[in-house]
């Protein structure tokens, strides 16, 4: 990512974050580093990450407006997923919700993140289950000004926010809050039913890292809360969560060993109300009230790395456990909900891995194997008549389990000012509890759960090259096959009554999550970066992906189609200009080709071009003021489309101003 010339050096308090040193094997794979400056100047952390072509949330909308269930991240544009097909970690701790797999980005404010490493391609080695299209490794902040760092901002449509980070002894404290009145996503055809995407959130994290002669220790606790309106009268969501982790790392320089032990636990709850849209979008009717989704996740991982002057190895193990259920009322008749539903279950995945590398002159060779055991069990779905408490549906899911073997290997040759590399890999992702057990509704569209889902598996090859000099460049050609892709498959159209799902209104669609065949994808990722003199840097990056579904016998109607929410082309251009020592101008241009909002490729979302601008002025040695404009040209960025053609759009042009203070 483009980084500006650093500001004048100031004293800083360092609060240790226990991490293993960067792995030498990363150089063999497609790795993009997101610099601290890129994260610090972005509206939200996911906005900075999605500047890397191929990295995306499920939909085009950022987490400032997206429903939590669509905030999962994918690291290579093969097929988007609300649960996410990339593993997101914070200093090694998985950040996915234990029930749904999505990432609540409100709990990861920019003030708490000092950078990220995006590893594209399946992470069969140390990353474990879930690293299907890549791994996004967030690094928590370690440096803070002696009297703290503070950031406040405000903007159009009631936007306001504040972040603070400061150290008290060995404790790092980071807090954040944000709100906005939002915008109405529907323009043409909007009615009284359409409401702004209002949003507010807050988070707090504390990390205690005492001096300890045996290694680096960190104890971290964090919590978040967010509430948002979903763009329709009566549709809203609320998310809360707390987490705790303990990480211990150490080194034995005499024998070349580094090690890590880490344990974590996470609790979350999610509420979501959905509605049916009336004729002419003049009104809404309650359709579902998901009044609770309590979930618990826990995990442990360990790693031991041995390094020598010309190679080394790493072995490790990890386990993750999740348990949760959705609690909701539905079937709104006569002014009241008439049915209640409780559905959920438990799952775990545990694995061991070994990886080794060898350096011989200009050559680097690496390879690794991994073995995982996965299981989903205790699945139940019970529906009752609220008036009589009589059971109307009782489903008990068969327990599922299995072993999964994966591997990865790579080779790199340094060529003085450049390099050549190649890699092969395999990874897998078990379906989340949400995909297995929770049906959901958006407007008049209903998607049913499927307790019989099996893990997705990805196999891939890639070759890459790069060079350094006045122009820095890299390019990767990849070919991937995603087998058993979990996709929302169309079952039927409303109006009509369907088994289990019940009544689907006119204009609505019934879908079900299925392992809908395979997805073949190949493409190119490339990046160019350089300097226009000492005061200006630039970066141009692009990803082109050709993806096609082979539905086989399970979903033949999808064969030959493009996966939903998968753009063919994405391009980003960034510049940072410092015409004066105190003045920095950042500009970003983004283009994304058309994508489809549905599995049958009937709802085409137009290509989108947008631009952002930010101007920073260092007013004093401790204060920086800025003005930023998102979507500078007020472009229409289409984010969704209903069955009857009503389109939704991302944020219109928005101006905000802010102050960063480091006393």
85-94, 118-127, 458-467, 559-568 — which is least confidently predicted? 118-127
Q: Are strands 134-140 and 86-90 parallel, antiparallel or unpaired?
A: parallel
How does pLDDT run across 436-450, given as a tens digit for each residue?
998 887 767 888 889
13-661, which class in CATH? mainly beta
Mean per-residue pLDDT, 601-628: 96
Mean per-residue pLDDT, 263-281: 94
Q: What is the pLDDT of residue 253?
A: 73
Mean per-residue pLDDT, 156-166: 96
Q: Residues 199, 182: contact at Cβ < 8 Å?
A: yes
Question: How many whole angstroms separate alpha carbon 259 and alpha carbon 301?
Answer: 11
Q: Are strands 73-74 and 113-120 parallel, antiparallel or unpaired?
A: unpaired
- List, in sequence order, the alpha helices (H) in 185-300: none
How does pLDDT run across 362-395, given as a tens digit for each residue?
999 999 999 999 999 999 999 999 999 999 999 9
Question: How many whole angstroms separate alpha carbon 382 and alpha carbon 82?
Answer: 25
Mean per-residue pLDDT, 55-60: 88
Question: How many whole angstroms separate alpha carbon 316 and alpha carbon 149?
Answer: 37
Q: What is the pLDDT of residue 3?
A: 45
Q: What is the pLDDT of residue 70?
A: 87
Is a pLDDT exceeding 70 seen at residue 2?
no
Mean per-residue pLDDT, 264-271: 97
Is a pLDDT exceeding 80 seen at residue 27?
yes
Question: How many whole angstroms separate alpha carbon 483 and alpha carbon 519?
Answer: 7
Contacts of 326 by beta carbon, 8 Å cutoff, 6+ apart: 99, 290, 292, 293, 341, 342, 343, 344, 434, 437, 438
Query: What mean pLDDT, rounded, does the chain reach?
Result: 92
Domain boundaries, the chain: 13-661
For residues 55-94, b (16+ Cβ closer than 10 Å) or e, as one string?
Answer: bbbbbbbbbbbbbbbbbbbbbbbbbbbbbbbbbbbbbbbb
Q: What is the pLDDT of residue 1?
A: 55
Name the residue with tokens 């283009």.
Answer: 591
Q: Are strands 486-493 and 216-229 parallel, antiparallel or unpaired?
A: unpaired
Q: Can you give the pTM of this predicted structure? A: 0.93
Q: What is the pLDDT of residue 255?
A: 76
How does pLDDT run across 283-309, given as a tens digit for each residue?
999 989 999 999 999 999 999 999 988
Is a pLDDT exceeding 70 seen at residue 639?
yes
How does pLDDT run across 209-261, given as a tens digit for each residue?
998 877 899 999 999 999 999 999 999 999 999 999 999 999 887 777 999 99
Question: How many whole angstroms separate alpha carbon 330 and alpha carbon 275?
Answer: 10
Is a pLDDT exceeding 50 seen at residue 6?
no
Q: Residues 651, 183: contact at Cβ < 8 Å?
A: yes
Question: How many whole angstroms separate alpha carbon 659 and alpha carbon 17?
Answer: 27
Reported as a pLDDT band with limits 50, 70 and 90, residue 95 is very high
Question: How many whole angstroms separate alpha carbon 209 and alpha carbon 547?
Answer: 46
Is a pLDDT exceeding 80 seen at residue 425?
yes
Helix (H) or strand (E) holding 384: strand 363-385
Q: What is the pLDDT of residue 505?
A: 77
C-alpha angle 264-265-269 in degrees, rounded to nearest 5 = 145
């Amino acid at each position: 990512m483009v980084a500006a010339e650093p500001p004048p050096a100031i004293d800083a308090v360092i609060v240790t974050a226990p991490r293993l040193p960067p792995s030498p094997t990363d150089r063999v794979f497609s790795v993009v580093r997101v610099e601290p400056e890129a994260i610090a100047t972005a509206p939200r952390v996911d906005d900075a990450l999605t500047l890397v072509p191929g990295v995306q949330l499920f939909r085009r909308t950022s987490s400032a407006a997206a429903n939590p269930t669509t905030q999962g991240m994918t690291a290579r544009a093969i097929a988007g997923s609300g649960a996410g097909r990339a593993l997101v970690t914070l200093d090694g701790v998985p950040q996915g919700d234990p029930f749904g797999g999505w990432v609540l980005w409100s709990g990861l404010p920019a003030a708490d993140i000092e950078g990220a490493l995006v590893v594209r391609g399946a992470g069969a080695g140390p990353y474990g289950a879930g690293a299907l299209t890549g791994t996004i490794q967030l690094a928590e902040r370690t440096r803070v000004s002696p009297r703290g760092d503070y950031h406040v901002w405000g903007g159009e449509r009631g936007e306001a926010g504040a972040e603070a980070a400061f150290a008290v002894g060995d404790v790092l404290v980071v807090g954040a809050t944000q709100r906005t009145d939002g915008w109405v996503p529907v323009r043409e055809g909007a009615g009284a039913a359409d409401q702004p995407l209002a949003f507010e959130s807050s988070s707090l994290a504390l990390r205690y890292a005492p001096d300890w002669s045996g290694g680096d220790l960190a104890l971290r606790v964090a919590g978040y809360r967010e509430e948002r309106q979903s763009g329709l009268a009566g549709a809203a969501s609320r998310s809360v969560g707390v987490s705790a982790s303990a990480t211990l790392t150490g080194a034995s320089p005499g024998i070349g060993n580094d090690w890590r032990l880490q344990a974590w636990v996470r609790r979350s709850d999610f509420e979501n109300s959905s509605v049916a849209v009336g004729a002419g979008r003049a009104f809404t009717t309650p359709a579902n009230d998901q009044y609770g989704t309590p979930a618990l996740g826990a995990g442990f991982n360990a790693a031991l790395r041995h390094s020598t002057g010309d190679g080394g190895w790493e072995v490790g193990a990890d386990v993750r456990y999740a348990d949760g259920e959705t609690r909701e009322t539905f079937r709104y008749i006569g002014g009241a909900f008439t049915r209640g539903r409780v559905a959920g279950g438990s799952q775990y995945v545990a694995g061991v891995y070994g990886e080794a590398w060898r350096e011989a002159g200009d050559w680097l060779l690496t390879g690794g194997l991994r073995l995982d055991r996965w299981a989903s069990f205790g699945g139940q779905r019970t529906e009752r008549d609220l008036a009589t408490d009589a059971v109307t549906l009782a489903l008990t899911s068969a327990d599922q389990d299995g072993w999964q073997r994966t591997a990865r290997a790579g080779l790199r040759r340094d060529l003085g000012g450049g390099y050549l590399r190649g890699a092969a890999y395999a990874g897998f992702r078990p379906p989340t509890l949400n995909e297995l057990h929770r049906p959901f509704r958006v407007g008049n569209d209903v998607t049913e759960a499927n307790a019989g889902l099996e893990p997705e598996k990805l196999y891939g090859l890639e070759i890459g090259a790069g060079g350094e000099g006045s122009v820095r460049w890299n390019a990767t050609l990849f070919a991937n096959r995603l087998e058993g892709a979990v996709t929302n498959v169309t079952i039927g159209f409303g109006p009509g009554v369907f088994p289990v799902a019940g009544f689907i209104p006119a204009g609505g669609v019934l879908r079900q999550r299925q392992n809908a065949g395979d997805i073949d994808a190949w493409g190119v990722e490339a990046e160019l970066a350089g300097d226009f003199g000492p005061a200006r840097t630039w970066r141009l990056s692009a990803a082109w992906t050709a993806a096609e579904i082979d539905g086989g016998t399970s979903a033949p109607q999808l064969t030959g189609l493009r996966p939903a929410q998968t753009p063919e082309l994405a391009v980003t251009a960034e510049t940072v200009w410092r015409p004066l020592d105190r003045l920095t101008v950042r500009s970003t241009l983004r283009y994304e080709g058309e994508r489809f909002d549905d599995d049958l490729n009937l709802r085409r979302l137009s290509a989108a071009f947008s631009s952002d601008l930010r101007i920073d002025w260092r007013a004093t040695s401790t204060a920086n003021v800025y003005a930023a404009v998102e979507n500078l040209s007020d472009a229409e960025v289409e984010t969704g489309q209903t069955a009857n053609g009503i389109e939704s759009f991302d944020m219109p042009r928005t101006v905000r101003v802010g102050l960063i203070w480091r006393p």
